[in-house]
Chains A and B, each alone.
Chain A
Amino acid sequence: MYNILLSGVGGQGTVLASKLIAAAALAKGLTVHTAETIGMAQRGGCVVSHVRIGENVNSPLIPKGTADVIIAFEPAEAVRVACYLKKGGVIITSSSAVKPVTDMFAKVPYNADEMLEYLKTKGIKTYVVDADEIVRTLGNAKSLNVALLGAATVNCDIGITKEDIANAVVNTAKAVFREQNLKALDMGADISKEL
């Protein structure tokens, strides 16, 4: 069984990324369960997607301390869900912060590097994808979700490969996004660096 937790901010494509993993797993004949926890916000709120591949799955949500991999779209969201990671699990995270409007009034403003540093001090094996480089190369952050999947498939065992995801992209994404997503998938795999 593989437990994969995706964590991001509304609007980043977190749910879509989980659907790609699920589609890739189903295409391989695997049993898959997914679930999302989304707050009341339409945009800008925390979004957590639980993907469970394999048999003998009961709970739709991944229990804390049992995720094999966390794919975070944002450093603070990686820290927020780090309690779901099993001992020896791996975090893949984007480097770039998404700051809420309320951060302007926060006593301690949010700093992405502090979050990454926190993961390091906790001894969690973490791979970082430079989101700015993705935006520079692809022109926008829309394919960041697929880039993170690329990084996840090459750095840890999630039961499906980069090629499986590529097939899912080809089968599900609209033609206009296909090329950009495939490019992002490769790029994420290439540029991810261990923290």
Chain B
Amino acid sequence: MKKILMGNEAIAYGAIAAGVEVVTGYPGTPSTEVLETVAKLKQSKKAENVYVEWSVNEKSALEVAAGAAYAGKRCMVTMKQVGLNVASDPLMSLAYIGVKGGMIILVADDPGPISSQTEQDTRHFAQFAKLPVFDPTSPEEAYEMISDAFDFSEKYSTPVIFRPTTRVCHAYATVDVNIDNVENHIAEGFVKDTSRWVIFPRTSYLNHLKIEERNRKLRSVLAEYDRKTIEQGKGRLGIAASGVSYAYAKEALAIDGLSAPVLKIVTAHPFPEELAVKYLKTVDEVLVYEELDPVVEKELIYVCYKYKLNVKIKGKLTGNVPDAGENSVEAARVIFADYFGTQKPEIPEKPDISLPVRPPMLCAGCPHRASFYAVKKAMKGRKAVFAGDIGCYTLGNAKPLDMVDTCLCMGAGITIAQGIKRAEPDTVCFSFTGDSTFFHTGIVGIVNAVYNGTKMVSVILDNSTTAMTGHQPNPNTGKRASGEVAEVVSIEKVLEAIGVKYIRTVNPFELDEAVNAVKCAADFDGVSAIIFRAPCIALFKPQKRFSIAEKNCIGCKRCVNEIGCPALVKNGNKIKIDPTLCYGCGLCEKVCPKGAISDKEAKDKDNV
């Protein structure tokens, strides 16, 4: 049946069609929708045999999936590229141990980056861990390729990395899918065998030899993996491309009426050596168009050297292609024109008029705004550092709040704050951590603070969801990925058990109480914690709206300058509230010096 599917949905459908039975993961853009789609299909009874979970972090997710693969099930674990850093410990060892059931490690890369901390290239991780990596060029190809990847994984008893990038993950295409007659893979179950499943130095030495031997063989095997990998073209100037850059290259050639022999690389590791040799014999030069790092480029240079092929390889290493950022059709056109020596294409330029800036900001009514504001008020005049973390609340760095001084990686805020405290003992050190991030990698940081006696204030922003990636459940929400009700893991009890002696739970919109709690926490002699608990606005409908009585507004803009809510808009020299944006949080009412803001007028209007 033909459906318009997002790349990530296509991958989920493809995995189900291939008989996947265990899917785990941790949310992270651009990978999230893969697991979400599996969960939706399970909930709608279209994939009843599949077990699906949001794990607390990527390491847990990968290990759960590995256990299932030990027992012979086909399984998939999903994450974004930086998630693989968290899961890298089990990844590296699992590569030595191998699997029985087919196992896909889906890692979505994010060139740009569009919503990530780094532009790291998971193909390096594949090389580092000595694992095969599949790199689809489109949603359609991803749907087919995931099934090949499962077969491959089972055949060679190895986990396989499947690595789409943002533009493949989030593009929609018309895909012919079928998950009605999924072949049942009978799992053998876990068969005890310490020589296979228990990692020991001696086994690792032997397995290392086997892996290298296998990967040498796979260089030939993958050269035969035919996904229209070589396309004939005119001339002896070739283009090699991988991932979505292949689509960009094809379109750029078509637009400018150019023809060239094209090499498409869908498995950057193990590199399909014989395929490359065959192609390189037909060209004098190759321009490699790929995103992130010059992985294919370096492999081609190696192959040229090894086979003594006098072919010039151009790309990032020669400065033809930019080192960082996304590729595009437009960029390809300019690079290709330079490479082929053809006329420079006319690409329309950006408008020569100043346009309104629309920076990302916390939503109107977002509880994080109130939390940041309370801490800011409480710490006014005191030396304090605010270590942030990954989530919507990173946006607390924007003016006028300006309350995020650092952001490194998941869970790091808590421990960065401790390091700053050790370097600057007279500073009050705060960390801000979301509920999902707290469970992901935050807890160990608090254990570290308590154990080492580092005075700090850990603020936990509990909005009862994993908001930034699209509202996934977590241990704090009472729900599982499958929709089932779950036991709520209490943040308070966790903190208590760790030994945090000052724990206060406050609704951040109760501003006075919140400010007071922060002051007490800052003065507490030891590790203190404040849980700001109020739901994300996506979880409920607004109950009331606020408005500004024009006659009472003196146009001081204090509301805008203090809290910067997007619902506060200009009304001549005064301010008014956009009723379509206001979520009724009432924070602005508390900062207005003239009492001009209330929910009264808006309420009357609603009743009419």
Contacts and interface: CB of A to CB of B under 8 A. Distances in A.
Decide if A and B are genuine partners. yes
Nearest to A39: B360
A9 B557 CA distance: 25
A66 interface: yes
Interface string B371-415: 000000000000000000000100100000000000000000000
B358 A9 contact: yes
Contacts of B395: 40
A64 B347 contact: yes
B80 interface: no
Interface stretch (B150-158, B245-253, B272-280): B245-253
Given A60-B171, A101-B560, A45 B360 contact: yes
B568 interface: yes
Given A33-B172, A58-B248, A100-B356, A79 B361 contact: no
Interface in B114-156: 114-115, 138-139
Nearest to B174: A31
**Interface extent on A, as a size class?**
35 or more
Given A33-B172, A59-B329, A44 B4 contact: no
B269 to A, nearest CB: 25
A14 to B, nearest CB: 13
- Looking at chain B's contact residues, the main secondary structure is loop
Contacts of A110: 355-356
A25 to B, nearest CB: 9
A41 B360 contact: yes
Contacts of B98: none
A31 B3 CA distance: 10
Contact of A22 (B172, B250, B333): B172
Interface in B242-277: 244, 247-248, 250-252, 254-255
Contacts of B359: 41, 45, 100, 102
B354 interface: yes
A148 interface: no
Interface string B199-213: 000000000000000
Contacts of A109: 570
Given A40-B115, A41-B358, A61-B329, A82 B4 contact: no
A92 to B, nearest CB: 17
B361 to A, nearest CB: 7
Interface string A59-70: 111011110000
B361 A101 contact: yes
Interface string B340-379: 0000001111110111111111011000000000000000
A58 B349 contact: no
B4 A34 contact: yes
B171 A44 contact: no
A34 B172 contact: yes
Contacts of B329: 59, 61, 63-64
A124 to B, nearest CB: 11
Contacts of B139: 60
Interface in A35-83: 35-36, 39-46, 56, 58-61, 63-66, 76, 79-80, 82-83
A103 B392 contact: no
A66 B251 CA distance: 11
A63 B333 CA distance: 10
A44 B359 CA distance: 8
A23 B255 CA distance: 27
Interface string A19-32: 10011001000011
A63 B255 contact: yes
A99 interface: yes
B83 interface: no
A35 B254 contact: no
A82 B255 CA distance: 19
B569 interface: yes
Given A26-B2, A33-B173, A33-B174, A60 B167 contact: yes
B167 A35 contact: yes
Given A22-B172, A32-B174, A103 B351 contact: no
A44 B353 CA distance: 21
Nearest to A97: B356
B278 to A, nearest CB: 24
A46 B355 CA distance: 12
Interface string B407-451: 000000000000000000000000000000000000000000000
A52 to B, nearest CB: 10
A176 interface: no
A104 to B, nearest CB: 5
Contact of B328 (A22, A63, A76): A63
Nearest to A26: B4
B348 A80 contact: no
B254 A64 contact: no
Contacts of A76: 355-356
A71 B1 CA distance: 30
Contacts of A42: 363, 392, 467-468, 538
Nearest to A37: B114
A46 B358 contact: yes
B350 A83 contact: yes
A27 B356 CA distance: 38
A80 B566 contact: no
B159 interface: no
Contacts of B50: none
B194 interface: no
B395 to A, nearest CB: 7
B250 A23 contact: no
Given A43-B566, A80-B351, A83-B349, A26 B170 contact: no
B358 A56 contact: no
Nearest to B167: A60
B328 A58 contact: no
A82 to B, nearest CB: 6
Contacts of B348: 64-65, 82-85
B360 A40 contact: yes
B564 interface: yes
Nearest to B348: A83
Given A33-B172, A40-B115, A45-B358, A99 B569 contact: yes
A141 B580 CA distance: 10
Contacts of A82: 348, 351
A39 B395 CA distance: 12
A190 interface: no
Interface of A: 9, 19, 22-23, 26, 31-36, 39-46, 56, 58-61, 63-66, 76, 79-80, 82-85, 99-104, 106, 108-110, 114-115, 118, 140-141
8 contacts: A32-B4, A44-B360, A59-B251, A61-B328, A99-B356, A104-B560, A118-B351, A141-B580
Interface of B: 2, 4, 114-115, 138-139, 167-168, 170-174, 244, 247-248, 250-252, 254-255, 328-330, 333, 346-351, 353-361, 363-364, 392, 395, 467-468, 538, 557, 560, 564-566, 568-570, 580-581
Given A84-B348, A99-B356, A108-B354, 15 more contacts: A19-B4, A26-B174, A32-B173, A32-B174, A34-B172, A35-B171, A44-B566, A61-B167, A63-B330, A64-B348, A80-B351, A83-B348, A101-B565, A102-B357, A114-B353
Would you list the 3 A-B pairs with minimal beta carbon distance, nearest first?
Answer: A60-B171, A41-B360, A63-B329
